[in-house]
Amino acid sequence: MKLYLEPTPEQLRSARSWLGWNLDDAAEATGVNRGTISRIEQELSQGTRDTIKRLATAYADAGIWLDENQITYVEPELVAL
């Protein structure tokens, strides 16, 4: 699967929620400040391409794949295959 780097704020928020992560969990997993994540999810900021890539990569590593039409859960042990 190709990493999708144009997720919507709603997709990012849904992916985090699906994982059961709060903002602190997402910040720890991505290295992105929790306030930045919150602003992106609330559409108060677009975030840089690097920030979006860090979020999408962390969610993908945890099994949540984002694309332009859907969010897919993949067992994390299968992601490495």
For the chain, domain boundaries: 9-79
pLDDT value for 81: 46
pLDDT in tens, 49-71: 999 999 999 998 998 888 877 67
Query: Rounded mean pLDDT of 7-23?
Result: 94
C-alpha to C-alpha distances, 18 to 56, 80, 81, nearest whole angstrom? 14, 20, 22
Q: What is the pTM of this model?
A: 0.82
pLDDT in tens, 1-12: 566 668 889 999
CA distance 2 to 38: 25
Q: How many CB atoms lie within 10 A of CB 3?
A: 12
CA distance 34 to 40: 10
Contact 72, 65 (CB under 8 A): yes
pLDDT value for 71: 72
Q: Which CATH architecture best describes the domain 9-79?
A: Orthogonal Bundle (1.10)
Query: Rounded mean pLDDT of 30-45?
Result: 97
Contact 63, 81 (CB under 8 A): no
